[in-house]
Chains A and B, each alone.
Chain A
Amino acid sequence: MGELRVAVLIAIMALGVICSATAQDAVKHESDADIQKAILAVDNERYEAMQKKDMAALDRLHADGLVFINTKGRMLNKAEYMEEIRSGSLKFLSVETDDYTFCIYGETVIMSGRAKSVVEYYGVVNKRPRRFTSVFIKMQGQWRLVAHQATLIADE
């Protein structure tokens, strides 16, 4: 009986090693185009969740260690950022983003772009275009935003 337990335990460990290798191979086979599509889908889902105040979706799409720096140079953690959305301090009146650049490094993706969304922040409406950098990392099969920073475009 003891031997059988050890045998089962060893078999489970071996399976773990094989699964780990298989998962890494699967990542390698995902094309850059597929990854870009997946990131854009996640980002769209994120904006939709912000507009609908879908806190469960926002919780899933943002990493626990999220660092968010807004156009005022304020640095927020995940809880602070989500609270701004939940409380209505941060509202997206419209969403418009374009001019994307993607740099893919395995399971880390740098997405840069321009946003012309109209945002209400603590009662003040901001229509000025901005450049942003978002960093997404795949964690347990889900792309999550780990860092985001936005900067107003001075010349537009």
Chain B
Amino acid sequence: MSVGRLLRVIVLIALVCPGDVKAQNDVPSEESVQQEVLKTEAARDEAMQKADMAVLNHIYADNVVIVNTRGVHLTKAQRLADFQSGDLKFLSFDQGDYSFHIYGGTVILNGRANSVVQFHGKVNRVPRKFTLTYIKLNGAWRLVAQNETLIDQPR
């Protein structure tokens, strides 16, 4: 087969699979992914403080898995109901110490929260470590898993 003929075959393959070629060219940098996820996280934080259900509904994936600091597994409906009813309130908000691990369209975001939270009338000031898993679904970063654990304080 001549080079010219082979090139024609390649062009044909590229036309048949344009998505693959485009997807590879469009891979965003780790920095831009971090910025996008942090922006989503900032929107979530604000929505939690204001109990903005529309924003929370958009950010939490329908099948989000949440494990709170009491080791209770919550669904999206249960978590949103906690915010809506006021059973879960942020009295102050402080989180940081972030680390990111990016695997294509999946991001693992770890950090530390020092926020003061009121849950069913009980105030919790103990700092906690968390793992948030964000996945890009239909072009938007959605929270698919959240697990929080109290940091054991030295006695």
Residues of A within 8 A of B (CB): 3, 6-7, 10-11, 13-14, 17-18, 20-21, 65, 67, 69-75, 101, 103, 105-106, 108, 110, 112, 129-133, 135, 137, 139, 146-147, 149-156
Q: Which residues of A contact B146 (CB under 8 A)?
A: 133
Contact status B131-A153, CB under 8 Å: no
Q: Which residues of A contact B70 (CB under 8 A)?
A: 151, 153-155
Contact status B150-A73, CB under 8 Å: yes
Partner of A21, one of B9, B17, B129: B17
Which residue of chain A is the closest to B135 with respect to CB atoms? A105
Q: Which residues of A contact B110 (CB under 8 A)?
A: 67, 69, 75, 147
Contact status A146-B101, CB under 8 Å: yes
Q: Which of B87-121 contact A (CB under 8 A)?
A: 99, 101, 103, 105-106, 108, 110
Q: Which residues of A contact B129 (CB under 8 A)?
A: 69, 73-75, 149
The answer to whether residues A147 and B108 also contact, given A65-B101, A101-B65 and a CB cut-off of 8 A, is: yes
Q: When each residue 52-69 of chain B gets 1 if its CB lies under 8 Å from chain A and 0 otherwise, what string results? A: 000000000101010111
Complex CA–CA separation, A110 to B142 (angstroms): 13
* Interface range for B: 35 or more
The answer to whether residues A137 and B145 also contact, given A131-B72, A146-B101, A147-B131 and a CB cut-off of 8 A, is: no
Q: Which residues of B contact A13 (CB under 8 A)?
A: 10
Contact status A103-B65, CB under 8 Å: yes
Complex CA–CA separation, A151 to B131 (angstroms): 11
Complex CA–CA separation, A21 to B110 (angstroms): 33
Contact status B71-A151, CB under 8 Å: yes
> Does B31 count as interface, using CB distance less than 8 angstroms?
no
- Minimum distance in angstroms from A107 CB to a CB of chain B: 8
Q: Which residues of B contact A131 (CB under 8 A)?
A: 67, 71-73, 147
Contact status A69-B131, CB under 8 Å: yes
Q: Which residues of A contact B10 (CB under 8 A)?
A: 10, 13-14
Q: Which residues of A contact B27 (CB under 8 A)?
A: none
Contact status B133-A135, CB under 8 Å: yes
Q: When each residue 124-155 of chain B gets 1 if its CB lies under 8 Å from chain A and 0 otherwise, what string results? A: 00011111010101000000111111111000
Partner of A110, one of B17, B65, B137: B65
Q: What 6 new A-B contacts, CB under 8 Å, besides A129-B71, A135-B106?
A: A10-B6, A14-B6, A108-B106, A133-B145, A135-B145, A147-B131
Partner of A18, one of B13, B101, B131: B13
Q: Which of B1-35 contact A (CB under 8 A)?
A: 1-3, 6-7, 9-10, 13-14, 17, 20-21
Contact status A73-B133, CB under 8 Å: no
Which residue of chain B is the closest to A105 with respect to CB atoms? B135
Contact status B20-A133, CB under 8 Å: no
Which residue of chain A is the closest to B12 with respect to CB atoms? A14
In the assembled complex, 18 residue pairs joining A and B whose CB atoms fall closer than 8 Å, in A order, are: A10-B7, A11-B6, A14-B10, A67-B101, A101-B73, A108-B105, A112-B65, A131-B67, A131-B71, A135-B145, A146-B106, A149-B148, A151-B69, A151-B70, A151-B71, A151-B147, A151-B148, A152-B71
